[in-house]
Structure 1
Amino acid sequence: MSPIDPVALTADLVRCPSVTPAEGGALVLLEDVLTQGGFTCTRVDRGGISNLYARWGRKGANRTFGFNGHTDVVPLGDEAAWTMPPFGAEIKDGYLYGRGSTDMKSGVAAFAAAAIDFVNETPPDGAVVLAITGDEEGDALDGTAALLDWMAANNEAMSVCLVGEPTSLNVMGEAIKIGRRGSMTAFFTITGVQGHAAYPQQAKNPMPAMARLMDVLSSRVLDQGTDHFDPSSVQVLTIDTGNPATNVIPAQTKACVNIRFNDTHGSAGLTAWMQDEADKIAADFGLRIEMRVRVTGESFVTPPGALSELVGKVVEAETGRKPKLSTSGGTSDARFVKSHCPVVEFGLVGKTMHQVDECVSVEQIGQLKTIYKRILTDYFA
């Protein structure tokens, strides 16, 4: 069959309004393209989320190279601020515009095009798998996690996996992600007794206790960083009381903090630390402090080895830059894949992701397909 044009495929995907959790036609389109390319496709929908599993080659093959990515996108924000149609996929001055063009429909198009061309031109001794979700930008409970659960139940497996998220800040080939920090958010509610500001002895003001707690948490130096990670960070995101009166002591105040943590910590230990500090301050002030924690992902790292070396050599050969091994950024679905097989991330420059007028270099889309295809060639060589 004729080579797949990754730019045209990116454009077709961008025209699908797949704002999380809407499928928007993106996975239907990919299933059709991949099926025509010789892949066996299975929809793995769960919890109202659409997911697609595609495999070329024998189940249980000795070597299976996997790609992972997502077709869902974040909301548009202020649509009136867009100067280009957000789902128009219009090309101007060498850039393709549209929501999801960078994060990460171009990455999905590039690895789908590379995989189809590769297996049809030089069928490998092994298998190639594409695990594509429609729920990475949302809660991610029924996205890649659902795909991996289905794979385990159906004796499907990847030997290694490359996640096609944007990985570079400024120029193509800057970085390969070999891990990610953990992320968790703690929500605090402190309840006191409302009263008149002139008669504080008849009230219990929760504000000083919250100020103390936020100071204690944000002032704590958690670590100095590790071999692969920057120092962990505690950030106060909000303190909300909603008190418009100048003569009323409020009855309740709320706050939340976010912690991005390296491989020195786990969420359980950090939760215990915050609970201990909250309990001490509650006792000091004679107030009730409630804490609720949401963990987005644990810290992980794929130690430098065969997979990162393979990807690094190809990236350097194709871009002329030796990529650094990075763990920066937020969370990605690699946090789920890391329990299944070795995983790294490599993709385009992510400078405009989630922004108004999100766009991607047309030249880079073709370059990324070339890199992915060469990775497959070298892996199965």
Structure 2
Amino acid sequence: MDSVVRLAQQLIRRPSRGGIDDYGPVLSVLEDWLTTRALPHRRLYDDGTVVGLLVEVAGGLSGPWWALNACVDTAPYGDEAAWSFPPDQGDVVDGWLRGRGAADSKLAAAMFCGIAAELLGRSFPGGLAVLLDVDEHTGGFGGARAYLADPAAVRPAGMMIGYPGLDEVVVGGRGFWRATVAVHAAAGHSGSRRTTPGAVSRAARLVGLLEEAELPGADAEFPLPPKLTVTSVHGGEGFSVVPDLCEVGVDVRTTPGFGAGAAEALVRAAAAELDARVPVPRPTVVSPVASWPPFRLAEDEQPAAALLDAAGREGLTVRAKTAGPSNIGNLLAAEGIPATAGFGVRYEGLHGTDERARLADLPVVHAVYRRAVLDLLGQRLSRRTCSSRS
């Protein structure tokens, strides 16, 4: 595992905070590593902006392609004064790899590159793609979008995403439907005799209606219920003006039984009720912003079956989990591509202070992913080959 850890350390030492840092340095580290090993790779772009790196290893025989994915952009550092070591430290202390991205997900990126290197030059059905995304923490997922839109890339039959966590294989997640709701009123002076509420007051009533709305519970087909959250309220300025506009952000986490259509209907019904109770000349406007579907793989569906089986054969007890937050698996589900979205080393401080990843877990996590990939590709390689190339 030494070369994997060394590569991960180099990646951590190249700051790549989503939407903040230049991604060139961190991608250059990967490109140097891949070039040295003659692994085919190329950058992915969206409107001229680099959004990822794609590694492609063809087996030379007819068959489906499978993909591994790990992001190499990271969350921001937050309060650097609260860290007990520099966020770009990239050292190993007491068996922990330390620094932003150690857990999410530069160690996984290095590990996946190692698996691709092992397959190079061998004959097998289909191929393996490794997507190294640098537009993940922005929420844009530009790397995945560019990969799926690239006419030169073979569309994968499924993808395994290397989010960390040793006890679970994430096989599903709630979707979401998001909207901005514009609440209107007549502008005026706060000291006037008028008694009609302003836009902020009307928005407060809308928030109450939304939070009181009844949502269905979980069912046998999907273990989590839908959830509605008011995430932002923006309106008004100063003290002497009655505001004529207040915008409310609404995030609805969806399930197969309560999808985007149901979420939109609920929010529009609340807006209509507000306008009926507190009428103004201009109606409330609901503007959908984004929507992803929920997804859930059965445990016998690929690639979930291969990953769960590999974990069991490596002596781990893991459970299939449906996650509350959405992830890149939802984007893939919208494209008809099944995905797992989490299995990796144990960690601390993910997206927070003093992020670190437990290196003692790396050999077994590597073995699980390696076994799963080889099973999907119809391959069998010796453990000795794995260790000599790591």
Q: The TM-score by the shorter chain falls in which range?
A: 0.7 to 0.9
Distance of 1:67 and 1:94 partners within structure 2: 25
Give the partner amino acid of 1:274. Answer: V
1:274 aligns with 2:272: no
Match of 2:311 among 299, 309, 315: 315
CA deviation after TM superposition for structure 1 residue 198, in Å: 6.9
Q: 1:67–1:163: 8 Å Cα contact kept in structure 2?
A: yes
Question: 1:108-157: per-residue Cα shift (whole Å, max 9, x none)?
Answer: 1112112322446x65343211122110111425321111100xx22612
Question: 1:297-323: per-residue Cα shift (whole Å, max 9, x none)?
Answer: 2212223324222211211232531x2
Identity among equivalent pairs (%): 21
Aligned ranges 1:54-65 → 2 under 5 Å? 54-58=55-59, 61-65=62-66
Give the partner amino acid of 2:223. Answer: F
Q: TM-score, normalised by structure 1?
A: 0.87
SS of corresponding position for 2:142: coil
2:30 is aligned to: 30
Match of 1:295 among 290, 293, 298: 290
Distance of 1:198 and 1:180 partners within structure 2: 51
Distance of 2:261 and 2:273 partners within structure 1: 19
1:368 is aligned to: 365
CA deviation after TM superposition for structure 1 residue 351, in Å: 4.3
Going from structure 1 to structure 2, the CA distance change for 1:334 and 1:37 (only over 3 Å counts) comes to farther
Q: 1:188–1:291: 8 Å Cα contact kept in structure 2?
A: yes
Going from structure 1 to structure 2, the CA distance change for 1:56 and 1:361 (only over 3 Å counts) comes to same
Greater Cα shift, 72-81 or 361-370: 361-370
Distance of 1:44 and 1:37 partners within structure 2: 20
Q: Give RMSD over aligned pairs.
A: 2.6
CA deviation after TM superposition for structure 1 residue 243, in Å: 5.8
CA deviation after TM superposition for structure 1 residue 236, in Å: 2.1
1:354 is aligned to: 351
Match of 1:238 among 232, 236, 250: 232
Match of 1:341 among 317, 333, 337: 337
Q: 1:38–1:56: 8 Å Cα contact kept in structure 2?
A: no
Going from structure 1 to structure 2, the CA distance change for 1:160 and 1:374 (only over 3 Å counts) comes to same
Aligned ranges 1:1-381 → 2 under 5 Å? 5-21=3-19, 22-47=22-47, 48-58=49-59, 61-119=62-120, 123-140=123-140, 142-150=142-150, 153-154=151-152, 156-166=154-164, 168=165, 172=166, 174-192=167-185, 193-196=187-190, 199-201=193-195, 203-226=196-219, 227-242=221-236, 245=239, 249-287=242-280, 288=282, 289-295=284-290, 297-307=292-302, 308-321=304-317, 323-338=318-333, 339-348=335-344, 349=346, 351-379=348-376, 380-381=378-379
Distance of 1:221 and 1:112 partners within structure 2: 47
SS of corresponding position for 1:310: helix
Distance of 1:27 and 1:369 partners within structure 2: 22
Distance of 1:52 and 1:301 partners within structure 2: 27
Gaps of 5+ in 2: 380-390
Give the partner amino acid of 1:8. Answer: R
2:385 is aligned to: none
SS of corresponding position for 2:309: helix
**How many residues of Structure 1 are paired with residues of Structure 2 in the alignment?**
368
Distance of 2:178 and 2:156 partners within structure 1: 31
SS of corresponding position for 2:124: coil
Q: 1:18–1:72: 8 Å Cα contact kept in structure 2?
A: yes
Give the partner amino acid of 1:194. Answer: G
Q: TM-score, normalised by structure 2?
A: 0.85
Distance of 1:68 and 1:300 partners within structure 2: 18
